Amino acid sequence: MDDIRALTFDVFGTVVDWRGSLIREGEMLGRKKGIEADWAAFADAWRGLYQPLMERVRAGQLPWTKLDELHRIGLDSILSRFELGDLDEHEIDELNRAWHRLDPWPDAVEGLKRLKRKYVLATLSNGNVALLVNMAKRAGLPWDAVLGAEVARAYKPQPEAYTRTAEFLGLKPEQCMMVAAHGGDLKAASECGFRTAFVARPLEHGPDKEGDAGGSGNWDAKAADFNDLAKQLGC
């Protein structure tokens, strides 16, 4: 563990609460436009299209398409189902950018600041650069580098997403620790040689659903939140 130089982070669900934030954005839009919708169902439906749309890129059915554009394809397909069919282009674009305005989990900013003293902190997210930069600017996330799918031109869990991120950082995979709340992400990173840290985010899918079951995996570290991870890593 002493060789670790960089921590690479999954972002959606691990650093930020995408579901709670999308509900908040939906409620704000609803008050402004007089729309009553089930915003939790809206958030879940939109996020539900995330993996299928990325899979079309991974499978080569779509050319490289950044996540902002995949989010927009998904949003367009559910607008009418959630009484959003009358929004104009500007309003739809603003709603699509809700992903740029996701709120961090309560421990995230403080934990990252602690971890940053000892490690290079980089995103290793499927989010595109602009999304992640705007999110970080708003939320105060202190990244040293914004990397991941767009600069690697590969969506996790494709191995190139991990290996190219390590190469950009000038590090061997074993000098990088993937931090995620999802077992599948950690498994893919581990298969590329990364060290792994599972952070529990039991509320990712809302209070009535369970968090990712990946916590039972055999990872290098398991933490209750980012401050706990910082403590375990001696920060």
**Count, residues near a copy of itself per rule CB under 8 A:** 21
Residues 98-137 as x/- pattern, contact with a copy of itself by CB under 8 A: ----------------------x-x-----xxxx-xx-xx
Does the protein bind a copy of itself through residue 151 (CB under 8 A)?
yes
Nearer to a copy of itself, 133 or 224 (CB): 133
Smallest gap from residue 167 Cβ to a copy of itself (A): 9
Nearer to a copy of itself, 75 or 122 (CB): 122
d(CA 82, CA 84): 5
Please choose, out of 57-65, 162-170, 183-191, 221-229, the segment that lies near a copy of itself by the rule CB under 8 A: 162-170
Does the protein bind a copy of itself through residue 161 (CB under 8 A)?
no
The single residue among 53, 102, 112, 169 that binds a copy of itself, judged by CB under 8 A, is: 169
Does the protein bind a copy of itself through residue 171 (CB under 8 A)?
yes
Length of the chain, please? Answer: 235
Nearer to a copy of itself, 5 or 58 (CB): 5
Residues 48-87 as x/- pattern, contact with a copy of itself by CB under 8 A: --------------------x-------------------
Residue 107 vs residues 52, 190, 210: alpha-carbon distances, Å: 30, 25, 20
Contacts with a copy of itself by CB under 8 A lie at 68, 120, 122, 128-131, 133-134, 136-137, 144-147, 150-151, 168-171
